[in-house]
Amino acid sequence: MATNQGNYESTNRIHSLLWQDDHLESTFITVSDSSKLSHWMGKWEGTLMIYSATKPIKEVPMKIWNFETDTIGTYGWYLIYGEDEEKGTRPYFLKTISTETGHYQVDEKNGIILDSYLIGDKMISTFDVQGSLISSIYTLETDGRMTFEILFGKSDDPNITGGKDDIPSVESYKMGGYQKAVLQRVDEEDK
């Protein structure tokens, strides 16, 4: 019983360091005002830089088109990769689940729905697909640009450490690559 209590306390210390538990709820409510999404709407363009530990950098033209739809709480959330817009378009939708918690879902319109969270100036989603752990982060920068980032690695072979005495088990993952695009607004509206 003492070990379980110790594990709980150690885990709670980690959570406090990572997420500052005592401020989490009020932070979500503060940053999740639905009017914040109006600043995300528009057309953005830039170059996606693809980095790998074992391969050279690759550059791909990228566009993001975010727009309101006729359905309240649903937004067009299009990603466009490469020069061929027809072939490279990913016509996703962002659906509001809870503005109080900043919870949204990206609907890829093929049965895949990814949970996303608006935290401060970032829209964050983390998911696992066939042994690959992927995090996508959209950031509205203070200078009016948007940054798009993808981090990916393997989730099927974690390095597990800790797990003894009062120390919780911790799994860390091999990262395989990183992608980043800095996008400029190109539409006429100044949000």
- 141-167 tens-digit pLDDT: 999 999 999 999 999 989 999 999 999
* Pairwise CA distance, residues 145 & 95, whole Å: 23
pLDDT reading at 28 higher than 50? no
pLDDT reading at 13 higher than 50? no
Structural domain includes residue 190: no
Structural domain includes residue 53: yes
Structural domain includes residue 162: yes
16: CB partners within 8 A, 6+ apart:
22
Q: Which residue has the higher pLDDT, 113 or 11?
A: 113
Q: Residue 65: helix, strand or coil by DSSP?
A: strand
Structure confidence at residue 53 (pLDDT): 79
Mean pLDDT in residue range 100-108 = 95
Q: By residue range, what is the domain housing residue 166?
A: 2-185
Residue 38, CB-side half-sphere exposure with 13 Å CA sphere: 6
Q: Domain containing 31 — which CATH number?
A: 2.40.128.20
Both tokens of 109, joined, read: 């319109």
pLDDT reading at 33 higher than 80? no
Band the pLDDT of 92: cuts 50, 70, 90.
very high
Which range has the worst mean pLDDT, 31-35, 98-102, 164-168? 31-35
What residue type is 61 in one-letter code?
A: P
Structure confidence at residue 12 (pLDDT): 39
Percent of the chain with pLDDT over 70: 80
Q: What is the pLDDT of residues 44-63, one digit of tens each?
A: 999 999 998 777 789 999 99
pTM equals 0.77
Is residue 102 packed enough to be buried (19+ CB in 10 Å), middle (13-18) or exposed (0-12)?
buried
Total number of domains constituting the chain: 1
Is residue 28 a contact partner of residue 100, using CB atoms and an 8 Å limit?
yes
* Residue in 171, 169, 133 with CA at minimum distance from that of residue 153: 133
Hunting for tokens 């709670």 — which residue is that? 12
Structural domain includes residue 191: no
Structural domain includes residue 126: yes
Average pLDDT over the chain, rounded to whole? 83
Structure confidence at residue 57 (pLDDT): 87
